Structure 1
Amino acid sequence: MPSEKILAKKKDVVSELSDKIKNAKTIVFADYRGLTVEQDTELRNALRKAGVEYAVVKNTLTKLAANENGLNELEPYFNGPTAMAVSDNDVIAPAKILAEYSKKYEKLQIKAGVVEGKVFDENSIKALAALPPKEELVAKALGSMKAPITGFVNVLNGNIRGLVVALNAIAEKQANA
């Protein structure tokens, strides 16, 4: 039977993981088995540069933390070595970086993820990673909202232009007469 000290440490770890899960915008779980130290270091550097926290986690403790947050659907994904990438401010960064590196290094496998409290499988996380950056999506939305207004302005300008041409022709005709 584990000692009180060990149990207290494990409870602290579960509490810390639970807080991370609760406050995260996005969490992606991956199996890193087979990556070399250089590959793992490269992945960690890319995640750190994007402001994403990355750590290897114990499945049992992470399962307990996930269950505390009502994410029981994650249980089947906690087998084998598990790494967790967490972002508190960027929804797409963990998914995008892990998807990019899983293409680059076939040994890295995305297991599942949590985006704003909802559990997603590997394919959904990869679909999230394929989304264009937020700035590009905003620009496209604004462009599509601007297009009808621009067309309406052109129609109004066309009518006014036609009126001006007609009035100018009448004025020239009367001046010549």
Structure 2
Amino acid sequence: MTLGITEKKQIVEETHNVAINAVSTVVTDYRGLSVLQITEMRRNAREQGVKLQVVRNTLARLALKDTSHECLIESIVGPTMLAFSPSDPGAGARLIKANISQGMPIEVRAISVAGTLCQGDQLESVAALPTREEALVKLMSVMIGPVRKAVQTLHEIPSKLVRTLDAIRMKKDSD
């Protein structure tokens, strides 16, 4: 299918806007996937908030220019599918990892997380990144620990005083 210059500009602009808003991007080779498998991947991606795009390489390179994912331009060769994650840095990697574990022949070429280039073999590490909610829970548990200790320490002072006074009272009662 031949695209006119206006369609190409529109594709570049749309992909550029998605890339600007993405926290992470995964570049994959989708050779060997059937249309049914790609459709299933896209459905799963929508559920997880990931945007999958199959774009011509030249258009993808133009779209990634002047974004935090510009480091991925070198890895765009051959059939390329891009997985953009707008909020969760590990969502795209988790999606690709899940599809690979289902037996889909996907090759991960490179991953960009907030402008940091990761090689395809680091998919497991990127997929293991916590979601925003998980990170907030971990942060809150770390922050609440010292506060809890301080409250316990402050609570222990009057408790110790009460126990001491009770021991004195019991001793006087026994005499």
Which interval holds the TM-score relative to the shorter structure?
0.7 to 0.9
TM-score (norm 1): 0.80
Work out the CA distance in 1 between the residues paired with 2:124 and 2:171.
70
| Alignment correspondent of 1:111 | 109
Report which stretch shifted further, 126-135 or 93-102.
126-135
**Structure 2: stretches of 5+ with no match in the other structure:** none
1:35-64 CA distances to partner (integer Å, 9 max, x unpaired)? Answer: 233322221211121222212111111112
CA drift of 1:129 comes to 0.8
Report which stretch shifted further, 32-41 or 64-73.
64-73
| Alignment correspondent of 1:11 | 9
| Alignment correspondent of 1:136 | 134
Work out the CA distance in 2 between the residues paired with 1:148 and 1:44.
44
1:112-156 CA distances to partner (integer Å, 9 max, x unpaired)? Answer: 233334433324443121123332332222222222332333333
Structure 2: which amino acid aligns with 1:93? A
Conserved? CA contact 1:35–1:105, under 8 Å? no
| Alignment correspondent of 2:97 | 99
Conserved? CA contact 2:84–2:92, under 8 Å? yes
Report sequence identity in percent.
Answer: 32
* 3-state secondary structure, aligned to 1:27: strand
* CA-based RMSD: 2.5
CA 1:88–1:132 in structure 2 vs 1: closer, same or farther (change >3 Å)? closer
| Alignment correspondent of 1:56 | 54
Report the number of matched residues: 173
CA drift of 1:71 comes to 4.8
Work out the CA distance in 1 between the residues paired with 2:138 and 2:66.
39
Conserved? CA contact 1:50–1:93, under 8 Å? yes
Conserved? CA contact 1:99–1:110, under 8 Å? no
Q: Tell me if 1:151 matches 2:149.
A: yes
Conserved? CA contact 2:25–2:82, under 8 Å? yes
CA 1:118–1:48 in structure 2 vs 1: closer, same or farther (change >3 Å)? same
Work out the CA distance in 1 between the residues paired with 2:66 and 2:156.
64
TM-score (norm 2): 0.81
